[in-house]
Amino acid sequence: MTESTSFRAAVIDDEKDITISLSRILEKQGYDVTSYLAGEGFLENLKKKFYDLIFLDVNLGPQKLSGIDILKILKEKGFSGHIIIISGNADISTAVEALKQGASEFLEKPFNLKEVQRCIKQFEKSADLLKERDSLLSGIMSRYELIGSSSIMESVRKQIEKVALLKEPVLITGESGTGKELAANSLHYYSQRRGKTLYRINIAAITDSLLESQLFGYEKGAFSGAESPSPGLFKAATGSSLFLDEIGEMDVKLQAKLLRVVQEQEVLPLGTSDVISVDTRCIFATNRNLPDEVKAGNFREDLYYRINTFEIMMPPLRDHREDIPQLAEKILMDFSFENNLPCKELDSAVLEKLSEFPFPGNIRQLKNMLVKALIESGKEDLIKSEHLVLESGKTSQNISGIVSSDLFWETSPLAEKKRALERLYIQTQLNKHGGDLKSTAASLGLVVNNLYRKLKEYGINP
């Protein structure tokens, strides 16, 4: 069990005898206790002091703030401690309302020592579980940590910390490969919603009709093949966060429906007129210039201003080259651990080459280059300059060698050669366009959805 001496408790009740008796019980258990006869004093002190456990009287007499008022204020502030509502017989219905508002449990007056001790033990038990959960989440958060000690990355981290606890939507912008998904993960795991799954969807990878049903849900029989109802991602993510990647690719018709969900927190599933209330924090990302898309009529102006309440811009790698050594170390460490390989260091000549490279594909391109270099290094202890293939904006330096040796001189069925050539060509064009799916698809004469399917088919990471 967690050491009770590390806990701070507050007792808020307009009856002095109750505050004295509860305080004595808690102090004997080793708690640091502060008692209040009014809610205003408690809220004022809350600016300076955090409490793990709060005993709160639901009826504070003729005061300005009731126990329910204080409870709502605590939840708005993102208070994550344990709240025990104190209730008399006449206040049971109010106590039930308090539980709905987020109180952990209630203690009925007049209470005895055993009941108070039971409540304290229940709190300590849940505190142990929360401690274990937070330990696991710390491991997850370290995986999604934004690496870099440069001033520009420090600024990004501070922005994330400022908005993580809010419910408002956040728009993450930046070129492809800059780490927008990592930023979305950081926003979620630093929020009060971190104990729940972060839901995510790539809008560019799904057709419009499928996207609508996946986001908003549907009733049985809403369309051909809808044999059973589906809640949709907004409903599934209620109480959590939903990451909508490539929001700039969404069809204008669907944008109107999305605006209603973001603005009203209400979802209208397909095949019904019954509105469903949700509590979903939305995180959006795009590599497009949305103001330009608004001017071109491709993106709704009202939706843009609604999702752009807070914007976090992920910088291109060329703007913080000093972070490349740290990024490289983390990339190699993670890849080696995931694939049960020995972790290798980079030769100084490799780091020098990397620091001078323009990286049109940003961190994603850096990862691809390092993974290839690690594999190429074989059994050697160090990744050297000769193991590194610098991928330019047009093509990889070793592509001509691959084409001549593998595709034309080795004999295999024509169908296999066609697939190999198509895969190589798509990969080359993806590199050329810095990982941007839309521009790559345009250069190949494909729609983005078809390109994405090709990437999945050939195992190419976009």
Whether residue 14 contacts residue 39, with contact meaning beta carbons closer than 8 Å, is answered with no
Q: What is the mean pLDDT of each run of 10 residues along the chain (462 residues)?
A: 64 90 90 89 82 86 80 76 78 70 80 86 76 58 79 94 92 94 91 86 89 90 80 92 95 93 92 89 95 94 95 95 94 88 91 90 92 90 90 43 46 72 83 79 85 82 70
Q: What one-letter code names the amino acid at 385?
A: S
Least Cα distance to 195 among 133, 260, 270 occurs for: 133
Radius of gyration of the chain (CA): 28
Quote the pLDDT of residue 391. 64
Cα dihedral value 349, 354, 356, 358, nearest 10: 160
Sorted by where each begins, the domain ranges of the chain are 4-134, 144-315, 316-378, 391-462
> 391-462 has which fold?
Arc Repressor Mutant, subunit A (1.10.10)
**What whole-number distance in Å separates Cα of residue 419 and Cα of residue 417?**
5
Q: CA dist 188 to 28, 122, 298, 338, Å?
A: 38, 28, 29, 23
265 CB-contact burial (10 Å; exposed 0-12 / middle 13-18 / buried 19+): middle
Kindly give, in sequence order, each residue whose CB lies less than 8 Å from that of residue 57, ignoring residues fewer than 6 positions away: 12, 13, 14, 15, 18, 67, 85, 86, 87
Least Cα distance to 313 among 455, 180, 437 occurs for: 180
**What whole-number distance in Å separates Cα of residue 152 and Cα of residue 217?**
40
Quote the pLDDT of residue 396. 41
Least Cα distance to 35 among 7, 52, 56, 66 occurs for: 56
Quote the pLDDT of residue 134. 59
**What whole-number distance in Å separates Cα of residue 173 and Cα of residue 169?**
13
Structure tokens at 9: 């408790």
Quote the pLDDT of residue 260. 92
pLDDT in tens, 346-373: 999 999 999 989 898 899 999 999 999 9
Least Cα distance to 95 among 121, 136, 67, 135 occurs for: 67
On the CB side of 451, CA atoms within 13 Å amount to 22
Which residues in 156-179 are b (16+ Cβ under 10 Å) and which e?
Answer: bbebbeebbeebebbbbbbbbbbb
CATH assignment of 316-378, given 3.90.550.10, 1.20.1530.20, 1.10.8.60, 3.30.420.40?
A: 1.10.8.60
3-state helix, strand, coil in the chain (%, to 5): 50, 15, 35
> 4-134 has which fold?
Rossmann fold (3.40.50)
Do 316-378 and 4-134 have the same topology in CATH? no
Kindly give, in sequence order, each residue whose CB lies less than 8 Å from that of residue 137, ignoring residues fewer than 6 positions away: 189, 194, 195
Quote the pLDDT of residue 136. 57
Q: CA dist 54 to 25, 131, 456, Å?
A: 14, 18, 52
> 144-315 has which fold?
Rossmann fold (3.40.50)
Residue identified by tokens 């001033």 is 151
Whether residue 372 contacts residue 350, with contact meaning beta carbons closer than 8 Å, is answered with no
Positive/negative CA dihedral, 285, 289, 290, 293: negative
Quote the pLDDT of residue 120. 87
Least Cα distance to 14 among 68, 70, 57 occurs for: 57
Beta-bridge partner residues of 12: 36, 56
Quote the pLDDT of residue 196. 85
In terms of pTM, does the model score above 0.85?
Answer: no
